[in-house]
Amino acid sequence: MVNYQVTLRPVYSCPADEIPDGIKVPQGWRLSWHQVETWKALNDPDVAVIINSAMTGDGKSLAAYLDAMQGEKPDDSIRYSIGLYPTNELARDQEGQIQGYINQFSPNNDPRVSRLSGATLEIYAESEDIRKDNAILTRIEQSDIILTNPDILHYLHRHAYITPKDAPDKLWSPLDVKFNLFIHDEFHVFSAPQIASVINTMLLMRHTKNEHKHLFLSATPEKQLIERLKTVFAPEEIREINPYEREKYRFPDSEAEKQQLESQGWRQIARQITLNFIPIDSTFGASETWLLENWQLIRDYFLQYPGSKGAIILNSIASVKRLIREFKNLLHPLTVAENTGLTGQTRKNESLQADLVLGTSTIDVGVDFRINFLIFESGDSGSFIQRLGRLGRHDGQSDDQPFLNFTAYALASNFLVERLFLGEHPPLEKNVAYDRPFLNEQIRDKYRKINNFQGYFRRWAGVQSVEISRKLNHKTIRDRYQKSRVAFEEDCQRVFQTSLGRVRGCLQTWREDWQQLSGQVSKSPIEEDASSFRGSSSLSCGLYDEEYEDWPGDYFKTYDLPSILSHLDIEPMTQADYLRLLESTAVRLQQPIAKGRFRHCLAFMKLLRYRPERRPWRFSYGGDLRELANSWKVLVLRGIQVYPCPYRQINERMKTRYLVSYLVPHPVEEVKKRLQLPMHFQIYPIDEFGREKTSAPYSIAFGQSALLLDTQAYRLKEKGGDSWIC
């Protein structure tokens, strides 16, 4: 086995020089420098935006909720906080952590913590027999801390959950009036559309109620967000807290140096790690093959270091599903579990007790899982750094069960390994010790560069701005927000470098084209996708999975059609049969199952098995693809199908669906390479009906991916095509 091994020194975090008078901590606690600096920024009336980029494991969550843990202050104020987490699983993790803070800090107001997701909102509204808007108002009134996802914050400020007769600010006004801190956690996982959404929401808050604080937490912060906020917020309104740049981290080389730091109150936040780079071919299944060929390496590690806990983090859910059963047999009696975006809650909870967990992201694996052994893939520098950061955060499974060693295996592309270790002046050498920030810097520099879709803001972010402005002009609130609306529009045009007048013209054109195409007098699907947070999920399918889940309540889930076609064998179901089965299961369990997520599913099916090999397929279309692709525009297309399609029912549903699309007259792999698209970017091969070529000459993206592709396609054009901006 070819192996390039280095050592990562431990990391120590600097303690705060002093604790301000307004902070009370449990006896024996000592806060880090960045935690106190965050508290100071939150209590500085001039600061509106705080970016905390402390390293993974350095207590950013405590920094965020420290002020809320002070309870009611002498001036009768309370820090009402909303935590925004990219997945519901992460919000669930944080709920337990915050309850632990409450137990330890004992704030005098005994904060009420609520967790809110689309599913919990739906179930709560049904159980209380109230509308969703009233359910949200109840949560706002009865909560001091709300843990939710940014999707709900987005749609709540885009006037979802209410009726057309309601005042548009029915929900966001009471929310924004009460809550004065919005915590954006793990924000690096989002791309340009989500960043645009958050900026639009922040500007709406800024011009309708000005006393908000926005705290962004990420060890790898998103530079696009920071730079754009600087165009509308004054320098004194933005506070960046970067412990590394302020030399608040130490990386001791010896035991004596470690003891000296500890005697001065420095806290160890990362243990020494042995990191092995394993060069892997960039081909389908290469990492799976390596793992199956080297399973003894895992077994031997657990034999050498009893009491170990490990994680394998891969890029593909299908890879995890294929490997899980193999590893359960190969590694017995070790317990092996899974934790992915498709894993039911019961199995996710059980995975925390397993010896080895297979997952697809650090967010899925969760903050509660303590490990000393890690094998991971990555798709870009950010995911490499984040996944490696999961290791070495804890001394052991518990205080009386210390880990004896910390080891990681990075399954890296040959290209990355060559750039790191080979060549004339390689930045890394085998068997040498490095500081983590230095390694992270080399990973960022040598990893393949990923497109950040900078052009999205100018072309598409203004669609949301126009929608918000239009609602501020609603007859029920027009007089109240007249000045706010003008200031909001000015800031949006400045931060996104766009013209909202031009955007309004585009919206009108899209609506006219949509009416001519469909006969419907409504918003164009293009506008719907540009106004959404993560996209419309037009290819999402309802999946019934009794094969890989234990608890019947977890059988019902959604998965996207391209992944289903590539990796699953399924049995089609009708929507009626699927929902009937869901209802009967809920009755049998005497527990509600949220069904709103299935309302717009393309198709429904039963999962039979995960395929050992990827199924070849492509999209197909009956019209002239050359003419459509050479328009270089986002289009709404109908009649797209799958070829070859093993399930007739899927094409019957596909051919009637209108899909927001962007066509490119180049093959998928060429487009991915030339545009530096992210690993999981949703772009697929497509050809015209009747053509059976070995590879499709065209590529297509749908929904939000189509909008992103539109911002970059000019790099593929030789000549021709309109140049327009929205």
Angle value at C-alpha 706, between 700 and 712, nearest 5 degrees: 95
Question: Is residue 16 assigned to a domain?
Answer: no
CA pair distance 172, 164, nearest whole angstrom: 15
Whether 561 and 492 map to the same domain: the answer is no
CA pair distance 716, 675, nearest whole angstrom: 8
Whether 399 and 282 map to the same domain: the answer is yes
Answer left, alpha or beta for residue 209, where phi above 0 means left and psi between -120 and 50 means alpha.
beta
Question: Residue 278: its pLDDT value, please?
Answer: 98
Whether 591 and 463 map to the same domain: the answer is no
Whether 371 and 409 map to the same domain: the answer is yes
CA pair distance 383, 364, nearest whole angstrom: 13
Whether 416 and 385 map to the same domain: the answer is yes
Question: Is residue 47 assigned to a domain?
Answer: yes
Q: Name the pTM for this structure.
A: 0.95
Question: Is residue 311 assigned to a domain?
Answer: yes
Whether 253 and 275 map to the same domain: the answer is yes
Question: Is residue 724 assigned to a domain?
Answer: no
Question: Is residue 12 assigned to a domain?
Answer: no
Question: Residue 187: its pLDDT value, please?
Answer: 86
8 Å CB contact between 107 and 68: yes
Chain CA centroid to CA 494, Å: 27
Question: In total, how many domains does the chain have?
Answer: 5
Question: Residue 535: its pLDDT value, please?
Answer: 87
- Tokens standing for residue 77: 């104020």
Question: Is residue 582 assigned to a domain?
Answer: yes
Question: Residue 443: its pLDDT value, please?
Answer: 97
pLDDT along the chain (726 residues), means of 10: 94 96 93 98 97 94 98 92 92 93 96 95 91 95 97 94 95 96 91 96 93 92 88 96 97 97 96 98 91 98 96 94 96 95 88 92 65 95 91 86 95 96 94 97 94 95 98 96 97 97 97 96 95 91 95 96 97 97 97 94 97 94 94 96 94 96 96 94 93 82 98 82 51
Question: Residue 2: its pLDDT value, please?
Answer: 84
8 Å CB contact between 391 and 365: no
Question: Residue 364: its pLDDT value, please?
Answer: 55
Which residues span the domain enclosing 475?
Answer: 456-530
Tokens 């060549």 identify what position? 423
Work out the burial of residue 638: count CB atoms within 10 Å of its CB; fewer than 13 is exposed, 13-18 middle, 19 or more buried.
Answer: middle
Whether 261 and 205 map to the same domain: the answer is no
Tokens 């309109």 identify what position? 722
Q: Which of 241, 259, 286 is the last residue of a domain?
A: 241
Whether 97 and 126 map to the same domain: the answer is yes
Whether 511 and 565 map to the same domain: the answer is no
Question: Residue 365: its pLDDT value, please?
Answer: 57
Question: Is residue 437 assigned to a domain?
Answer: no
CA separation (Å) from 414 to 96, 399, 628? 41, 40, 38
Whether 506 and 624 map to the same domain: the answer is no
8 Å CB contact between 68 and 257: no
Q: Which of 225, 241, 257 is the last residue of a domain?
A: 241
Whether 550 and 632 map to the same domain: the answer is no
Whether 130 and 159 map to the same domain: the answer is yes
8 Å CB contact between 215 and 43: no
Question: Residue 188: its pLDDT value, please?
Answer: 83
Question: Is residue 227 assigned to a domain?
Answer: yes
CA separation (Å) from 338 to 71, 319, 354? 39, 11, 9
Give the domain CATH number at 357.
Answer: 3.40.50.300
Angle value at C-alpha 210, between 206 and 215, nearest 5 degrees: 75
Q: Which of 512, 530, 548 is the last residue of a domain?
A: 530
